[in-house]
Amino acid sequence: MEQRRSALEPGHPGLSLRRQCELLGVSRSGWYYRPVAAGCEARKAEAELRTRIFSIFTQAPVYGYRRMAAQLGRDGFPVNGKRVRRLMREMGLAAIYPKRRLSLANRQNRKYPYLLAGVDIARPDHAWASDITYIRLPQGYCYLVAVMDLYSRRALSWEVSAGLETDFCLSALEGALASGRRPEIFNTDQGSQYTSEAFTGRLLAEGIRVSMDGKGRCFDNIRMERLWRTVKYEEVFLKEYADLAAARLELGRFFAWYNGERLHQHLDYRTPNEVYEGRCLSPAG
């Protein structure tokens, strides 16, 4: 096709461009078509759009793809909602409310009340929390669970898995408990992994009070949502994990840096390890 297009001679004295197209089997629209934003330019434009989406979502994590598309249009990035939805899905961005639930409830399992309403979390090990997020891989998804001390923001333990079974949540719990320290309260959502007898029974056996987010109240576990935002913006979105093993290796490096070196504004620019281990004054906020 490209050879036939190159054979056309606009301004030929004996044949009109129309007749040349007919003889060579080239449509006139094919002649006038010129590729746009190909190769590196297209990738650069896509990267700029993704960067802007990250920036907007950082400021407004409640934005779904419709409001995101509207904001992008205001910012000089005209793009339809369908494309924005695809990009947000690929980047693992979902509005904090409403959002897709990764842990579905089991009606037969006991639900516990939310115990952190109005509570001032004033010291390490006062309250821990756990949540699950997903990470896109070339061949699908893997799932990341973490246990965090809510006062210091320290990631006490984490696990990745190809599935959403209760076992990998239990493994993360055991990793946190292996330090010998125990929280007074342990908060989760009402997903079946956390309401299972295996999980709640382990907490109760340690004398830990079980707390669960209220149904439809996504902000009950907002500090875990902020952890996921940090993990994705500062680690996951910057890399492409080839497989589950690569994700586990890179996340291990990230969490070591996050706990030991990353300064947190909410901790008066201290690290989670410093606050959790009592090596500094109490953080603000």
Q: Counting beta carbons within 10 angstroms of the beta carbon of residue 36, is it exposed (0 to 12), middle (13 to 18) or buried (19 or more)?
A: exposed
Q: Could you identify the residue written with the tokens 């910057």? A: 238
Give the whole-angstrom CA distance, residue 247 versus residue 260: 20
**pLDDT (tens place) for every residue of the chain, 285 residues total:** 555 656 666 666 777 767 767 776 766 666 555 555 455 777 888 888 888 888 888 777 778 889 999 999 888 888 999 999 998 887 767 775 444 555 556 567 899 999 999 899 999 999 999 999 989 888 788 999 999 999 999 999 999 999 888 999 999 999 999 999 999 999 999 999 999 999 999 999 999 999 998 765 555 678 898 999 899 989 998 888 999 999 999 999 999 999 999 999 889 999 999 999 987 544 444
For residue 109, the Cα-to-chain-centroid distance in whole angstroms is: 28
Question: How is residue 15 written in tokens?
Answer: 């044949």
Neighbours of 202 (CB within 10 A): 16
Neighbours of 145 (CB within 10 A): 24
Q: What is the pLDDT of residue 103?
A: 58
CA distance 57 to 109: 35
CA atoms within 13 Å, Cβ hemisphere of 97: 8
Q: Residue 144 phi/psi, 5° resolution?
A: -120, 130
Residue 270: CA count within 13 A, CB half-sphere: 20
Token pair for 54: 């990250």
Q: The tokens 């965090």 sit on which residue?
A: 148
SS3 state at 253: helix
Which residues have a Cβ under 8 Å from the Cβ of 68 and sit 6 or more positions away?
A: 53, 56, 57, 84, 88
Give dist(CA 159, CA 133) in Å, integer. Answer: 11
Neighbours of 98 (CB within 10 A): 11
Three-state secondary-structure class, residue 37: coil
